[in-house]
Chains A and B, each alone.
Chain A
Amino acid sequence: MHYLFFFLRKQYIYFLFLLLEIISLFIFFNNNDYQNSSLTEVSNGFAGTVQNFSSNISEYFSLRRVNHILAEDNAKLHSNRSEAFYKADTESFYHNDTLYKLEYRYISAKVINNSTNKRNNFIMLNKGQRQGIENHMGIIMGDRIVGQVVSVSAHFCWVMSLLNKDTRISGKFKKNNQLVNIEWNGGDYQVGEVKEIPKHVEINKGDTIITSGNSDIFPEGLMIGTIDRYTIAQEENFNSATIRFATDFNSLSFVEVLIDMMRKEKVDLKNSFKNSVR
């Protein structure tokens, strides 16, 4: 026993090293499944305050570009107002709310931290639980996709950007609705990978890829990007291509959080089906 203590005291540094390393790896792998742990909430709150301060300063440098985007959006919205439409018969003009149920609501949020240079990139937004943000909500910019919410604190949320090894977007060719998967393989933040293109689909440079609406996160028809280069694989069953993202991830400043009002219903339906099969 005496020797054991002597040994432990002499070699304590190795044990301390092992202990600390195990703790950090434990945190790392436990935190990797993007669950809302109390640890991330604390760090989100504190880090958010600092990042918010820094983004308040850097915000001024992008005002010109932001203005430009807002002006474009304004023009788009104006052209959708009822005044912009020619009414042929003003007497029979009516609006029926029961036909159009609100499915998606949008909340504008400011990007306060963003990266494109890591293998796994995240974006921090200045909206959180208090504003009704929850996990798995989609983030878009105009009609282009950005990512999905993975962790929320009271006033901030972390978004797993499209530029992440765990992001897999279900997309389709706009011209013929053929389903494909989109991933990002690291490196250039403007270029991603389109996987599992069926052999019979004819690929052209510049083909548009949009979201398929198959996932619960994004509705159908949002812009992902255009085909950049493609390879016809001889031995394999699928062709592959690279895609040039429509979103410029390096210059995000204001984005919108997509709130799916019917998400609960969709998820419940899916779960009830799964349960009944079992």
Chain B
Amino acid sequence: MTIIFLKNVGRFLFLILFQVLILNNIQVNGYINPYFYIYFIMLLPFETPGWLLLLSGFLLGFSLDAFSNTLGLNTAACVLMAFVRPFVINVISTGTEFMIGHSPSLKNQGVKWFTYYTIILVLVHHFALFYLEVFRFTEFFQTLLRVLLSSLFTLLLVFIAEYLLYPIEK
């Protein structure tokens, strides 16, 4: 239990620093900015109680906001994503047994399950984040493009991380 806790704290710190120091500096034409730090919420163990999920989402978003002078923006998006997560898991799961203490992963849950899981959560977060940031309907399609491109990039990073962390044995 303690090990799982420490593991998640470490992941939290690493992802925040990675996002702030490296990803926030990536500049591709103003359309792509990946938000890979939400990988933390995606990797919380299955049996994490709802309140803990929401609170860690709040804390994660707030920490990132503190670094980018966007107080409340990432927090709102992360809380929403943490709230949606149990519903997503319920909808896409087909009665597969989840082991206690395990996190969602590409290896254990399979490519199809994990792809749905990631796409839905990333899209929820990015939609909330970008539209809240712009908060204008005149730039609707431009923002939509940014959401889609950035989601694609975040997805790519998540899958790269999955393959690096849990190599699939042959």
Contacts and interface: CB of A to CB of B under 8 A. Distances in A.
Contact of B73 (A21, A28, A189): A28
A6 interface: no
Contacts of A116: 27, 30
B139 to A, nearest CB: 6
Nearest to B25: A115
B165 interface: no
Given A117-B28, A186-B142, A50 B134 contact: no
A250 interface: yes
Nearest to B86: A13
B134 to A, nearest CB: 5
Nearest to B83: A17
A25 B72 contact: yes
Interface in A15-50: 16-17, 20-21, 23-31, 39-40, 43-44, 46-47, 50
Interface in B43-88: 50-51, 54-55, 57-58, 61-62, 65-73, 75-76, 79-80, 83
Nearest to A17: B83
Given A27-B71, A31-B71, A17 B32 contact: no
Interface residue tally of chain A, by bracket? 35 or more
A43 B67 CA distance: 7
A51 to B, nearest CB: 7
Contact of A117 (B32, B71, B73): B32
Contacts of A21: 76, 79-80, 83
B78 to A, nearest CB: 8
B115 to A, nearest CB: 26
Given A16-B50, A24-B76, A25-B76, A187 B31 contact: yes
B72 A26 contact: yes
B20 interface: yes
A250 B26 CA distance: 10
B108 interface: no
Given A47-B66, A117-B30, A185-B139, A27 B75 contact: yes
Interface stretch (A75-83, A98-106, A118-126, A201-209): A118-126
Nearest to B49: A13
Contacts of A122: 68-69
Given A17-B79, A21-B80, A185-B139, A117 B69 contact: no
A119 B75 CA distance: 17
A120 B143 CA distance: 13
Contacts of B58: 20, 23-24
Contacts of B26: 117
B21 interface: yes
18 contacts: A16-B51, A20-B55, A20-B57, A21-B83, A24-B58, A28-B71, A31-B71, A47-B69, A50-B17, A50-B20, A54-B21, A115-B68, A117-B28, A120-B70, A186-B134, A186-B139, A187-B31, A188-B30
Given A23-B75, A51-B20, 17 more contacts: A13-B50, A20-B54, A20-B58, A21-B76, A24-B72, A24-B76, A26-B72, A40-B71, A50-B20, A117-B26, A117-B30, A119-B130, A119-B143, A122-B68, A158-B69, A186-B139, A250-B27
Interface of A: 12-13, 16-17, 20-21, 23-31, 39-40, 43-44, 46-47, 50-51, 54, 115-120, 122, 124, 151, 158, 165, 185-189, 250
3 pairs of A and B residues whose beta carbons are closest in the complex = A28-B72, A27-B72, A24-B75
